[in-house]
Structure 1
Amino acid sequence: MDPFHTYTALSHQELGDRLFQGELIIFSIADELAPFLNRTKQLINKHFGIPDPQKAHLALDEPTYAARASETMTAFERDPEIKSLFFSALETCGVNREENFYDRLVLRIVPCVTSYDKGRQASVKHHRDTWGSNIDSQINWWLPIFPLRKARSIALYPDYWNKKVANTTSDWSFSRYLAEKKATPSGEKIAYPSSPQALESIDEQACFTPELQPGEILTFASAHLHGSKFNLTDKFRFSVEIRTVNIHDVKHGKGAPNVDNAGNVPMYQWFKQIKDDKKLVL
């Protein structure tokens, strides 16, 4: 059974009601996303400097790829036009700029060659994003830049929505991660995980992978177990992700159920208001 439901827009009330019950939602807004996608592809092509960045392994050696990928990701995060275009598109889905706060708009690159899968471009293992933020009302947004196949999409595990997973939330430290990141040379894999990790094997038969196309955004509660689909295709995956928190959800205790998170310090300081980048302060 397909666990995804597609919309063009929802009120925040309805969006929260659906997501915090475990529903996976796809917004289909090709026209609204077109300016953002075009600008992002221009930036990728500029910094990679090759005809097809999706096949970077055929044109660039590992160190050159790592350097250009890092340069591309940094340029993406610092581009004010990209951020403005994305939030304009997100607003059409029903996301209010005053009520919603975001962490970072991130360009992620997942290689299709194991030796390239490291550093900032490394694939991500099974986790719930709430394990790191400890904010049950947090929402994830995820979209591809180029057409996808299931074999290189994001992997979600809806069967684990209410199922406990042994994990490292009781002793994972964000401050230690920052220290390890600072001490790790660019292009090398950080020894300490960027978020708490699962400590048990996950049933891959429970994996769902959406075959999203450019112009579609996947939305899900951050409490959903997910990770990077191991890329078995002949192309790298370029995708964008961001997490948001609605201030009314936070103040009224609205959010997804916490089934296995031992962390107890909400990381509200990660989030800024979409409208003017003011910090989320409660």
Structure 2
Amino acid sequence: MTTVYFDSAVNETTRRALLYAGDIFVYSPRPSTLALIDFARELIDEGFAPHDAEMAQYEMPVDKFVEIFAPLKPRFIHHPKTKALLRNVVAALGCDLDVTHLDVPRLRGVTSDKYLTAGVGYAFPAHRDTWWSAPMAQVNWWLPITTLASESTMAFHPGYWTTPVSNGSEEFNYYEYNSSGRKDAAKYITADLRKQPGPRQPMELDPQIRIVCPIGGVILFSGAQMHSTVPNTSGRTRFSIDFRTVARTDLEIGSGAPNVDTFSQGTSLRDFVRGSDGAPMPDDIVARYDSGDKPEGAMLVFKPPVPA
């Protein structure tokens, strides 16, 4: 059974335990989330001007859309305002910034009717984030920038919470992916040929849960939760923000969601910094969760390109 909690008043420790058990939390817009959304929207509108960003796909070839959107993603990540806004979002929802570590936020654009489904507009099939070497204690945060519809949100597939899926994670090395797959995303426009995990078997996607929350709402779920990008047929590009957190205290005691089918090498923990001061994840904790090889030329921590 999966429970969806709306504006729950449970404390953050209890919330994490429920997330690790497969439940989902949804919160209404609040000043901290709206400030982050407004800033992201400002960058998007500036980048696509004079076009309406949600309708730009109908006014330009796909390679021009990629040319505009690709640099917006690192610009959002690196902007000094983004980190402060992100910390405010996490703190406003009860997280202790001294023990909560955050990774960088991602700016996503999912175009309508298969205009762009690769590279910077990759439409994720059903997956768990843990297949990409994420810790079982990872919590995902997802916020819509534009108006959602059932045809443009994401879907959860809770029937797979305890059901393993053949996914290719045993062939995935996070450090190799950092040095090639993530760095080269903008090169893929018509097809996404990056080597990464994904279902290697037919999936039963129904029954599924689709949550349609307002702009500035936030959805929290475990990194082990099976979820997918809903094929967008809304007629408008959907923009959203997602990022991840881990509680260092949970890493120290091994708390987290169950691992039913993740066999990837490496760990994404080096991507997380402490919310209070930006300190890196302690080496001893990283070592506890690290695995596999570190190939020559591989990148232990992904460094998004700094916009000119």
Normalised TM-score (structure 2):
0.85
Listed one character per residue, the Cα deviations across residues 129-159 of structure 1 (whole Å, up to 9, x for unaligned) are 1122241111100010011001110111111
Listed one character per residue, the Cα deviations across residues 95-131 of structure 1 (whole Å, up to 9, x for unaligned) are 1211111222111111113242222111112211112
Could you tell me which residue of structure 1 aligns to residue 300 of structure 2? none
Structure-2 change in CA distance of 1:263 and 1:186 (3 Å): closer
Residue pair 1:104, 1:242 contacting (<8 A) in 2 also = yes
1:214 aligns with 2:219: no
- The alignment of Structure 1 onto Structure 2 pairs a total of residues equal to 281
Could you tell me which residue of structure 1 aligns to residue 199 of structure 2? 198
Q: Distance in 1 between matches of 2:8 and 2:182?
A: 41
Could you tell me which residue of structure 2 aligns to residue 267 of structure 1? 268
Instruction: Name which of structure 1's ranges 104-113 and 48-57 shifts more when overlaid on structure 2.
Output: 48-57
Instruction: Name which of structure 1's ranges 172-181 and 68-77 shifts more when overlaid on structure 2.
Output: 172-181
Instruction: Name which of structure 1's ranges 261-270 and 143-152 shifts more when overlaid on structure 2.
Output: 261-270
1:184 is displaced (CA, Å) by 4.1
1:54 aligns with 2:60: no
Q: Distance in 2 between matches of 1:215 and 1:264?
A: 35
1:263 is displaced (CA, Å) by 3.1
Tell me the amino acid that sits aligned with residue 245 of structure 2: T
Q: Distance in 2 between matches of 1:268 and 1:74?
A: 20
1:242 is displaced (CA, Å) by 0.5
1:71 is displaced (CA, Å) by 2.0
Could you tell me which residue of structure 2 aligns to residue 89 of structure 1? 89
Could you tell me which residue of structure 1 aligns to residue 288 of structure 2? none
Q: Distance in 1 between matches of 2:43 and 2:265?
A: 39
Structure-2 change in CA distance of 1:103 and 1:183 (3 Å): closer
Could you tell me which residue of structure 2 aligns to residue 111 of structure 1? 111
Aligned-residue RMSD, C-alpha: 2.1
1:185 is displaced (CA, Å) by 7.8
1:70 aligns with 2:62: no
SS for the counterpart of 1:176 is helix
Tell me the amino acid that sits aligned with residue 55 of structure 1: M
Residue pair 1:19, 1:221 contacting (<8 A) in 2 also = yes
Structure 1, unaligned runs of 5 or more? none
Q: Distance in 2 between matches of 1:137 and 1:182?
A: 22
Q: Distance in 2 between matches of 1:248 and 1:268?
A: 14
Q: Distance in 2 between matches of 1:89 and 1:126?
A: 27
Q: Distance in 2 between matches of 1:130 and 1:24?
A: 17
1:7 is displaced (CA, Å) by 1.5
Normalised TM-score (structure 1):
0.92
Percent identity over paired residues: 22
Listed one character per residue, the Cα deviations across residues 22-67 of structure 1 (whole Å, up to 9, x for unaligned) are 1011022433322222211111100111342111112222121111
Q: Distance in 2 between matches of 1:2 and 1:245?
A: 21
Q: Distance in 2 between matches of 1:258 and 1:169?
A: 12
Tell me the amino acid that sits aligned with residue 74 of structure 1: P
Structure 2, unaligned runs of 5 or more? 286-308
Structure-2 change in CA distance of 1:98 and 1:210 (3 Å): same
Structure-2 change in CA distance of 1:270 and 1:183 (3 Å): closer
1:272 is displaced (CA, Å) by 1.3
Residue pair 1:102, 1:273 contacting (<8 A) in 2 also = yes
Could you tell me which residue of structure 2 aligns to residue 127 of structure 1? 127
SS for the counterpart of 2:40 is helix
Residue pair 1:118, 1:187 contacting (<8 A) in 2 also = no
Tell me the amino acid that sits aligned with residue 110 of structure 1: V
SS for the counterpart of 2:235 is coil
Could you tell me which residue of structure 1 aligns to residue 306 of structure 2? none
SS for the counterpart of 2:170 is coil
Could you tell me which residue of structure 2 aligns to residue 180 of structure 1? 180
Aligned pairs for 1:164-179 within 5 A: 164-179=164-179
1:175 is displaced (CA, Å) by 3.1
Residue pair 1:130, 1:136 contacting (<8 A) in 2 also = yes
Residue pair 1:141, 1:242 contacting (<8 A) in 2 also = yes
Q: Distance in 1 between matches of 2:161 and 2:2?
A: 16
Could you tell me which residue of structure 1 aligns to residue 295 of structure 2? none
